[in-house]
Amino acid sequence: MLFQSKKYTWARQFLIVGNSPALIYVETNTHIFYLAAVIVTFARANPCQHIISSWTVDDGLPQNAVYSILQTRDGYLWFTTLDGLVRFDGMSFTIFSRSNTKGITSNRFNTLCEDGHGSLWIGTVAAGLFKFSDGRFTRFTLKDGLPDQYVTAIIEDRQGNLWIGTRAGLACLKRDCFIVYTTAEGFSGNDIASIFEDREGNLWVGTYSRGLNRLTRTVVVVYGKRDGLSTDAFYPVFRIDFVVLATD
């Protein structure tokens, strides 16, 4: 997962504190960065001065493993865990789970995206896609057109289309309808791992074991070992001044 400030771009990493992962907050004066289970604020004057605070299940997290972090336009921080969706207001955690929230049918959340309208989209492990808008959760599954209910990645492109990666193909939600892209449309594989839109509007789609794909308006271009890449497995895809590919 990618988290980006105005000046820097970072890829997802997991921080281990002791023998278990935990959520870490590091604060100084300016420049907030989000790094999976880490939030770091660097000071311009002296980057070595900072205060570190940490939160675990003892402080209200439902689980110590945090898989994705997003700050929405209203200022809240959202975290995904495999035991509930978490919202943080700077003081306390609010947990959304199937036991306390209408519309949620699974606690196994793994990825996040906020669209241009301010709606929050949440991917799950085997329970499909959820949309949180106006205080309500709406679920999308195979019945609605998703190719699979294991969601691995979500982005919104510059045209306002939502792209959802799953273990069985790529889906585009356009005008309330899912359009599915798989090997039948020319993709190298259906096990989608990551999605990224470049400056030209091309969509880069990484797979777990079948290489990399570039989707333009008219064609799918496949890249793999035969093209000089070190592997056929791709995870986060992002860009600094050029496209950067993360592999295993």
Nearest to 149 by CA among 169, 163, 175: 169
Nearest to 90 by CA among 42, 25, 15: 25
Domain spans of the chain? 1-140, 142-248
The pLDDT score that the predictor gives to residue 50 is: 81
Phi, psi of 194, deg, nearest 5: -155, 155
Domains 1-140 and 142-248 equal at CATH topology level: yes
Count of other CB atoms within 10 angstroms of residue 100: 10
pTM: 0.73
Q: What's the CATH code, domain 1-140?
A: 2.130.10.10
Beta bridge partners of 133: 136
The pLDDT score that the predictor gives to residue 222 is: 65
Count of other CB atoms within 10 angstroms of residue 224: 18
Tens of pLDDT along the chain (248 residues) come to 334 433 333 333 333 334 444 454 444 333 333 333 444 444 445 556 788 889 999 999 999 999 999 999 999 999 999 999 999 999 999 999 999 999 999 999 999 999 999 999 999 999 999 999 999 999 999 999 999 999 999 999 999 999 999 999 999 998 889 999 999 989 999 999 999 999 989 999 999 988 899 998 765 666 656 655 545 454 454 443 444 444 45
Q: What's the CATH code, domain 142-248?
A: 2.130.10.10
